Amino acid sequence: LPLRYCCCYLSLLTLALFLAKMADQVPFALNPADAIQGVINWDSPIGASIAKYGPKPLNEEKFNGEAEALPLFLRQFKMRGEEYGWFNLNRSVTIGDIREDPNDPQNETVWNFIDNYGIINVEEIKNHTAHFMYTDDTADSLRARQDDRLAIRCLRNSLTPGMLNRVLLKSENYSLENPNNINQKTESAILFLKTIIDESTVQTNATSSAIRTRLSNLDDYMVRGVDSDIEKFNEYVQLNVQSLAARGEETNDLLVHLWEAYKACEDKEFADYMKRSHESYEMGTVDMEPTTLMDLALNKYKLQKERGLWKKMSEEDRKIMALTAKVASLEKKNKRAGKRDYEGSGKKDAKRAEKPEALKSPPQDVKKVIRWGGKEWHWCCKENGGKCGGKWRVHKPSDCKGADFHKKKKPTDKPSDSEAAKKKLKLTKAVQALTGEDDAKEDANE
């Protein structure tokens, strides 16, 4: 081969060997930020990318300080921190992994702040932050200072103006005094986050009690809170359990409350399925943990949704509903009718049965009794002890109180003010309407 081709071939071979060697030396990292060992070079492309995207808001909807939204806010911050190295146990110092004693290299106990914010006190955070801010000048501590600036900018950008103002007013809570310069104070991202948490919740025993109360009322939340949406319900349970764990506490009766909640679901097939599962658990045929039960419920819910059967009534339920509607309709009609029908009698109109001839004239025997309209009619006259002067009545002559007693009384100009009297009058009219006694009195006065 010509000499120039040989030289070109050797050059390419040398370059290939060099690139292969460099590839072997590239450190493995799951995220670009983790690939940077030590201090970030802001002039490098990856450094510029971290500076641009690290401080961006955690979510389009900014956090307004409501306690219900705090768990999601913390989870999003943890995800951002894991992506940009703010929580990284591969380095000796990070801003979010609080060392029990930062000044003791032999003490390797580390607490993740997001997972344990309820049991890590302010002094522990201050000691941890002051160590990498003012005491230690190693590469990992210098990197932690850079991360701290990015994290606090991220937190500020993730708050609504109202919530940000509330936190900024508590600047003394998240500022550290420089022991080398008492006039200089440095803001801490984790102390800033601690202030956000304190502004959103009251870190007392009452907070833990409130969480436990919510977990004990899951059956009510299932129906009223999420309208039997199992996916949303499970998220609610998980957030409350995590909030309790962050305070160093746990619940031992969660499984009981979960069973009750799932059985209270408004989907009949789902509720029956959970009842059968509960019976199997009580009989000891299956083992069940809260997370396993929640997964089981979620899978059944998704299956029902995919089949289009969620909250769909069965044929039996539809029949019951139809019968219920029919009964209600009949009751409404009966209520409108007011008075019951009986043989030979009814409302005083053209449709009512005509009186028999025997009740239109005096009887030959004044003691004669005639049955008509479901009642016994008596001839009330002086001869048999009556006081009606010879009239057919439904009362016995011996019980007669006189003809004037049956005359309809005209309403007085001034009705009684007594509420009891008014109620009694309404009750009397209602009874007369149901028994037909009013019609009988009208007939008796004819």
pLDDT digits (tens, 9 = 90+) for 313-361: 766 666 776 777 777 777 777 766 554 444 444 444 434 567 888 888 8
pLDDT of residue 107: 79
Residue range 87-101: mean pLDDT, rounded:
85
| 367 HSE (CA, 13 A, CB side) | 1
**pLDDT above 90 as % of the chain:** 41
Where b means 16+ CB within 10 Å and e means fewer, 211-222 reads bbebbeebbebb
- Out of 150-154, 186-190, 419-423, which region has the weakest mean confidence (pLDDT)? 419-423
The model's confidence at residue 24, banded by pLDDT at 50, 70 and 90, is low
pLDDT of residue 419: 53
The model's confidence at residue 239, banded by pLDDT at 50, 70 and 90, is confident
What does the alpha-carbon distance between residue 82 and residue 399 come to, in Å, rounded to a whole number? 98
Residue range 254-277: mean pLDDT, rounded:
94
418 has pLDDT over 70: no
Please state, rounded to an integer, the average pLDDT across all residues of the chain: 81
Angle at 244 between CA 242 and CA 246, to 5 degrees: 70
pLDDT of residue 203: 54
387 has pLDDT over 80: yes
pLDDT of residue 315: 62
pLDDT of residue 195: 95
Nearest alpha carbon to residue 152 among 137, 167, 140: 167
The model's confidence at residue 15, banded by pLDDT at 50, 70 and 90, is low
163 has pLDDT over 90: yes
Residue range 41-60: mean pLDDT, rounded:
93
Q: Is the pTM of this model over 0.75?
A: no
437 has pLDDT over 50: no
| Residue showing tokens 């009981």 | 256
117 has pLDDT over 90: no
More confident residue, 340 or 375: 375
Residue range 363-391: mean pLDDT, rounded:
87
Could you report the per-residue pLDDT of 29-49, keeping only the tens digit for each?
A: 677 787 788 899 999 999 999
3-class state of residue 17 by DSSP: helix
What does the alpha-carbon distance between residue 104 and residue 108 come to, in Å, rounded to a whole number? 8
Angle at 94 between CA 90 and CA 96, to 5 degrees: 115
431 has pLDDT over 50: no
